[in-house]
Structure 1
């Protein structure tokens, strides 16, 4: 009896593992059948995610229309897909040259896409352009280019292809967005603004085309890492931290995102987040506790731009209140962007440690909520609701 009890746990774990493996294989085969013979348009197919989506959808029997702004790279992708696929079970991909930053030619290219097969079943808006830096150092020309690639380009292409889907009363539009379409992260003002705009457009479009049986989906990872990004060797604590929060630190691998896009199409999901619990929790914190969210984010920026405090001094200057005259005499600190060619350096002065700033911000946020009438209304609601429910007579 004791031996049977000891063997039960390994056998149970083995059975659960087998069931999960079978479920994953069936789900994978079912996902591929969902795109078989479907006309799938993928923008920026030459990117990491675009290549993985192309490989996955091509193997599933989709009729691909691959778009990209570099013809040589499109041909390389074409050869790679043809060489590994079974010609009897797949279709030859169509290649279309498309640069979403040139809005004037997007409509003509969209008509060329429609001419490939006469219709479009699935549109995957994958093109994206990123930039990182302080808002005052990003030119308006670069802001406009980011908006063209991340917002105006995808919506222009969608507007041209959408009437075909509406007339056929079928189709699905997938926007590969970013979690920054829900909340902004400092030093990415233009990128976050373009993602917010695209998110808002496709959220509204989802409600408008629902009656025509056209599905609009958004897939939002933290960020998609490149193939050649590896964990840095060194600090043991940092390695453990990065292991547990690898999606937040290094982003999501293109293969994972491509598989999630396939699942989204099969299940016709409306919104998907690919992130660990911390970024997901940040969405709700931003909604319900904005002061707390802003305090943490602001302190994170100051930590990046600040210089380590000099511990050799027995009495650091930040422990004493300084007048404006004394602050002007303090030696300025040039931030990390001062080395950028052609960009004037920003100047900042020493400030209190990050821990003290966070405590002060949290105290301010808590004080704000304690005096806010809506806060006490929520408290009263959560306290009274169970009592009211318990007093409701049951008939």
Structure 2
């Protein structure tokens, strides 16, 4: 009896591991089959995440329309995809020049996108720009530029492609957002405001188009980190600011995020939040205990200022 009891635990571990492996394999296969032959538009395809999304969706047989504002980089991405692709299971990507912050050209480019295959099944709004600085030091001109790129650009392109999805009663729009669409972090007021606005718009749109079988998905990582390395330490290395905000800065790798976007599309999930435990605690604290959250942020700012004064 004693030997049997000892063996039960490893057998259970092996059994559970096997079930998890089979489940993940089935999900992966289903993800590939759902996306195959679908027309997938990726904005800012030349960014780190854009390249990984292009690779992932191209490898599973999607018909890609890759958008970016630099034609040479788009061609480089095209060559990279074609160079490793199996032509029997993939489609040749189509390239479209698009600066999402140039609102006057978005409608014209949207028509060019639709002309590629006659329709769009999946739109991945990936393009955005960042700015860092004190709120009062960032010019209104730069505020508007951030809002154009991160809010007006994606919604303008979405509105241009949406009628075709509604008429076909099929389609999905994915917004790649950020944790700053949920909470504001000091020195990123313009960026956080644009991400809050975008999240609010797509949350409303989700309810409006659900009856037409159009799915709206938002994917919000903490940050999208570089391929190598960790965030640089700040001048506030020894403060509680380090614990709170440097933990928030440990973002998601572009490869992992691209694979999560594929799963989000295949399972038509409405919302995905990718974050480490510290970031999740911050979001929930902001939602349920706002005064505590504001107190922590204020304390962190005071400590940062003290460190800066000591260094002068």
What TM-score results when the alignment is normalised by the length of structure 1? 0.73
C-alpha distance in 2, partners of 1:110/1:271?
25
Structure 2 residue aligned with 1:200: 200
Structure 2 residue aligned with 1:22: 22
Structure 2 residue aligned with 1:227: 227
Tell me how far 1:264 sits from its aligned partner.
1.1
Structure 2 residue aligned with 1:123: 123
SS of match in other structure, 1:124: strand
Structure 2 residue aligned with 1:37: 37
Would the aligned equivalents of 1:222 and 1:247 in 2 still touch at CA under 8 Å? no
Distance 1:256 1:247, change over 3 A: farther
Structure 2 residue aligned with 1:258: 258
Tell me how far 1:18 sits from its aligned partner.
2.3
Structure 2 residue aligned with 1:67: 67
Structure 2 residue aligned with 1:179: 179
Higher relative contact order (CA 8 A, sep 6+): 2
- Unaligned runs of 5+ residues in structure 1 are 311-332, 335-395
Tell me how far 1:157 sits from its aligned partner.
0.4
C-alpha distance in 2, partners of 1:271/1:231?
26
SS of match in other structure, 2:36: coil
Q: Deviations over 1:293-326 (max 9, x none)?
A: 111112222222322787xxxxxxxxxxxxxxxx
Tell me how far 1:247 sits from its aligned partner.
6.9
C-alpha distance in 1, partners of 2:56/2:301?
39
Distance 1:73 1:12, change over 3 A: same
Structure 2 residue aligned with 1:358: none
Structure 1 residue aligned with 2:160: 160
Structure 2 residue aligned with 1:212: 212
Would the aligned equivalents of 1:229 and 1:250 in 2 still touch at CA under 8 Å? no
Q: Deviations over 1:339-364 (max 9, x none)?
A: xxxxxxxxxxxxxxxxxxxxxxxxxx
Q: How many residues align?
A: 305
C-alpha distance in 2, partners of 1:225/1:247?
13
Would the aligned equivalents of 1:74 and 1:95 in 2 still touch at CA under 8 Å? yes
Q: Deviations over 1:222-278 (max 9, x none)?
A: 010011224889xxxx9xxx9xx9973421101111111111112211111001232
Tell me how far 1:168 sits from its aligned partner.
0.5
